[in-house]
Amino acid sequence: MISRNHFDRRRFLQVGAVGVVGSALPFSPGTAAASHGTGRAKSVLLVLLSGGPSQLDTLDPKPNSPAEVRGEFAAIETAVPGISICEHLPKLAQQMSRWSIIRSLAHLEHNHLLATHVALTGRPTPIPRGGSDLDRVESRFDFPNVASALDWIRPRNDGIPTGVSLPNYFIEGPLTWPGQYAGFLGPKHDPWQINQDPNDPNFRIDSLSLQPGVTSPRLLSRQHLLDELNRNSTSCTDSGRMESFGQQQELALSLLTSDRVAKAFEIQREEAAVRDRYGRNKFGQSLLLSRRLIEAGVPIVQAAMGIVQTWDTHVDNWGRLKNTLLPQLDLGLAALMDDLADTGLLEQTMVIVMGEFGRTPRISTLPGQSIPGRDHWAHTYSGLFAGAGIRGGQVIGKTDDIAAYPVSRSWSPADVCTTLFDALGVSHDASINDPLGRANHLLNGDIIEPLYTGTIF
């Protein structure tokens, strides 16, 4: 069960308005000094299907259920006897021997923002007293996402960011989805966020390019001068903001003086045939770019499909899935897995494909709409897992006849995050302190052992 912890409102205000100014928090999170985890993976690619895909219309079809539950799609057999998935995922069906499906993922949050925080951190979203779940957006009191937590316990200075998220930040109007960045660890540990379409012919990351006439030695010389100015800037030092600002400068400098990441973003270097295999769309090219970032050594890459809530199919669930979402997912994942397998990267890269929750078993039509869909449902949903020692060709977990609830053991986002950390070799006693000084173990769930052993329990 996931419980919600409320911060003391006075303490909440005392720590400071860091969500607005982006300053570093005035406390020192703790961590275990060593890593003794399983260490099966060097990188993790999280393909986040924001909005929540329907389990019934993707990985857990129920062809014998009533029409108002099973929906419009048929189920097809995969290359692994006994495993069926949606008819609009034919390439995935052919590659089923590489994948494990977990059909009993579950948690308690049916709200997009809160569920996204849970999915990316393995923790409930902190709600200050007097606050509303519906109003809850990101803040510097959030628990850090997995990439930020890893960056805290394994800081880098080689120009390779610990985490990169693409192709866009999850934001809609005044709402910014929590769990996307470092939260109370401060901006130094934020994942590097890409907000551009890799499918755009003019795609490039200008922040990774030095201005004409500025060489790496010249840039370093400028940095030494800036350091002297910073040390003599007592007003900034006294305000407590210099540390955060300096950390951002250090990150920018390390990126600019190392060309491995810059070259990874030169997606135009890929042959046209390779780009075609992934699909000439935002999602397909984001997966291709993710593969290039993994090749460059980025430990955690998060790729999404389009904008926030892309899979939020309250309306026209089957039309959107059939015509756009499932074909793009099927094509992009097939190309990604072929490339990872052919280069040997699949043995050291964990691939996770999931949304923040699933969709309701029963079909419904929103007021004022004529085309039906499915609503939010966190009681059970499905995900795909592969690589880094994971056994393919299996299904973990079972749901009832309408894919409403697990009838076997359920697995939480905390279990997914724990499995991810363990695969990256993070110590099982690694911890960080929250703004109230409470120690939080990073591996706060159970390792999903059936992924490796095939033993279902």
The pLDDT confidence band at residue 113, using thresholds 50, 70 and 90, is very high
Contact 170, 48 (CB under 8 A): no
Contact 116, 356 (CB under 8 A): yes
Whole-number pLDDT of residue 28 = 42
Is pLDDT at 249 greater than 90 in this prediction?
no
- The CA-to-CA distance between both ends of the chain, in Å, stands at 18
Short-list 196, 189, 98, CA closest to 152: 189
Residue ranges of domains in the chain? 203-257, 384-457
Name residue, tokens 């299996």: 394
Contact 96, 75 (CB under 8 A): no
Whole-number pLDDT of residue 175 = 84
pLDDT digits (tens, 9 = 90+) for 252-297: 555 555 678 889 999 999 999 999 999 999 999 999 999 999 999 9
Whole-number pLDDT of residue 253 = 52
Comparison of pLDDT for 117 and 11, the residue scoring more: 117
Report DSSP state, residue 199: T
pLDDT digits (tens, 9 = 90+) for 330-344: 999 999 999 999 999
Q: Mean pLDDT: which of 30-39, 202-211, 269-278 is highest?
A: 269-278
Contact 418, 445 (CB under 8 A): yes
Q: What is the mean pLDDT of the chain?
A: 84
> Distances in Å between the alpha carbon of 405 and those of 55, 56, 180, 379, 447?
11, 12, 28, 6, 21
Q: Are strands 75-77 and 84-86 parallel, antiparallel or unpaired?
A: antiparallel
Comparison of pLDDT for 132 and 176, the residue scoring more: 176
Is pLDDT at 174 greater than 90 in this prediction?
no
Whole-number pLDDT of residue 436 = 86
Cα–Cα distance for residue pair 238/230, rounded to 1 Å: 12
Comparison of pLDDT for 405 and 210, the residue scoring more: 405
Whole-number pLDDT of residue 227 = 55
pLDDT digits (tens, 9 = 90+) for 374-429: 999 999 999 999 999 999 999 999 999 999 999 999 999 999 999 999 999 999 99
Is pLDDT at 7 greater than 60 in this prediction?
no
Is pLDDT at 142 greater than 60 in this prediction?
yes
